Structure 1
C-alpha cells in the first residue's frame, strides 16, 4: 500500500480527472478500503480542497470550486504548458507581468530536474497582434527542440513543409531540400509560432512557421549570434509581416482627418497615430498592406473623411466608392 502522502496525491489526481467518482471505484483504483478513502478525503478537506459527498446508490465524491486556492497537482505536460503560458503572459502588457513572473518562478522551484530543464530551454517571446484566423497546432516537442537550439546557439537543420498553392492540393507541393539556419528567436505573432533565423544557404534573415518545421538531429556546430536588422525581435517581425523592405514601416501609409473625437478613434486604431484637432475632429495617420486596404480600414469609422494624402489614398477611396456603388445597385431581373 502507498504511503499516506503518496496516496493523497493519487486520490487528488483521480478527483481532478472526472466530475464524480463512486467511493467503491476510488477504493478499487487506489487498492484501499472504502473506509480509508473516507479518511483520505477528510485529510484533503483539511488541506483546503472542497470535496463534497455525492448522494446516490453508490455514493461518491466530487471536487468542486472553493473560496480559496488550495495546492494544485499537475502532470508533466500540464506543468510544461502552464510554464509556457506564463512566459507569454510576462510579455503581454496586460498588467499581470510581475505576477506571472513570480508564478513561473514558484512553479519552476518545485519542478523535478527533468521538467526544469525543459522549461529552461523553452524561451519564447510573445508579440501581440489579434487576428481572426484558425491557428495551426504545433507539437510541444518541436517547440522544445527549436528553443533548445536557440538557447544553445547551434545550427539547426529541418525539413520545411511549403504552403499549398492557392486552389491546389497537398499533391501540388514540391518538397524542398532541408534548411540550415542559425536560430535566433522563437516568437508568437497573431496566435502562431515562428522561428526567426539566419538562413545559411540564402544568406539572409527568414521567419519560419513552426507548425511547418520538422527538426532533424543532431544539431550542427555552435555559432556567434548575429544582430537583427531592426535591433530587437519585435520590430523585426513586425516589419517582415508588414511586407516592408526592412524599414519597419507599412508599404502604404496615408493621412486623413475624421469628424470624430480622438479618444474614440484611438480605441480602434492599434498601430495608427491619432492627433486631436478639436472636440469632434482628429487627424489619423495609418498604414496598411495596400491602398484599397488602407481606405477600407479608414472607412470603418462612421464619420466624414478628408484625405490629406497621398494621391494613391484618394484614388483608392474612389475605386472603393465605384465598387460599393455597384454592390448597392439592385441586379437586373432575370428573364
Structure 2
C-alpha cells in the first residue's frame, strides 16, 4: 500500500470517528484530503467514486466497523460513520500466568533490540489496569539475541530506505561492499537475516547479520521502493541459505535424567554413574552456546575451548543483568 493511500485511509478513519452523524460521500470528499475532485466533471467524479469504493472495501477488510445510514428521515443519500463503541478495543483481562508471559516477552525484546517498543507496550497495558511485572519470572531467561545491525536494518526496511554495508563471506579474503533495498529482517534457524533487492546483482538476496562488518549506512530517501506483493521472507532465506553444515563437534557432561531435548540430537552418548558424556554436532559456536546455557547447571562443556568460553561468557552476562547492588 502506497504512503499516499495509507494517509488517505487514516484521514478517512479520523473523519468518520469524529462525527456522530452520517456523512455523505460529497461531505467526505470536501473534508478528507486525497478526495479532491470536480463533481461537475463526470470523469473526475467517477474516478472519485471508484477510489472511495476501494477505500471502503479496504477499511472493512481491515476490520474497521464502517456503518451506513442516513442522517435524518428527509435524506435520501446514504452516509457513513464509525461508532467509537465498536471501533475501540475492549478491556484486556490477563490471568497471572498470562501477565507473566507478557513480562517475559517484554524482557526478551529488551535483549533483542526493541526495548523502546517493548516498554511502550508494557506501559499501555499498565495504563489499562493490567498488572504486568517483568521481574516476576527472573528464573526464566529469554535467549533471543540480535546483532548490532538489527536495529538500523529493521528501521531501513520499515522506512523503505536503501542501505550500504560491508559484508564478509567465509571463502573470501576480505569484506565486500553491498547495496541493498531491505524488505525485512527475519530469524531462521537461530540466525538473523536481512532480505531485500541487491542493487549490484539486480536480484533478491539475503544476508546474515552476523557477517556484516562495521555499521549500516543509509544511502537513500524514505519510501524509495516497494517490496514485492505476498512477500515471504522465510522462503527467501530457506532457499538461499541452504542446508546447515554441522562441522563442529562438542562434548558435554549431562546430569542423569536431565536435558532430554539436548539428548535427542546427540551423536554419541556414553553413560556414567552420575553424568553422561554426550557428543553434539554444531554449525555455529554462538548458536550451540546459546542452546547449552538454557540447561543451566545440568550441562557442563568439556571441549572444545571456544564453546566452553562462549557458554561462560553468556552465563556471566546473565548474572550481570540480575546482579542488583544492595545499598546500606
TM-score, normalising length: structure 2: 0.31
TM-score, normalising length: structure 1: 0.31
